[in-house]
Amino acid sequence: MEQSPSKIKRDILLFAGLCGISVNACLYSLTVDWVPLSMFPLFTLLLSAYCGYQSYSRTPNANGTTTVTAVVFICGLLGYSAYSRAIHPELGSNFVMLLLVMVLMGWVCFRTGIVSVNPPKKTH
């Protein structure tokens, strides 16, 4: 039986998103000429991975935390790629990436309890 979706800790999701963004920023700074080389994405990656690991290992996690964390990491990867393609249109279209990020983040919002299917009960 699954626990309540609101039991998923949001700080783990924040660190996973930051890791996804910084991994893609590191790769873009090494491979794309238009993105300047900087050490800040590497520092962000190291710090967010360390803090995310500490948060993940110190507290008990709800069922499905690993899946939601992986989806948020992928959203960070795709989100930075879409942002880079919006800034530099020479890299290609960002339509598919934006569509995937929107669908995946909708699923994450549903899974974490931010959005619910059942309307709130009215009290009279």
Q: What is the pLDDT along the chain (124 residues), one digit of tens a residue?
A: 344 546 788 899 999 999 999 999 999 999 988 888 889 999 999 999 999 999 988 888 888 888 999 999 999 999 999 999 998 888 889 999 999 999 999 999 998 888 877 776 777 6
pLDDT score recorded for residue 2: 47
Say if residues 87 and 35 touch (Cβ distance below 8 Å): no
Q: Which tokens is 89 given? A: 């249109």
**Domains in the chain: boundaries:** 5-112
Q: What is the pLDDT of residue 6?
A: 60
pLDDT for the residue numbered 75: 96
- Residue found under tokens 């039991």: 7
Spatial distance between the Cα atoms of 112 and 30, rounded to a whole number of angstroms: 35
The Cα–Cα gap between 28 and 79 comes to 13
With 0-12 / 13-18 / 19 or more C-beta atoms within 10 angstroms meaning exposed / middle / buried, residue 19 is buried
Contact 41, 26 (CB under 8 A): yes
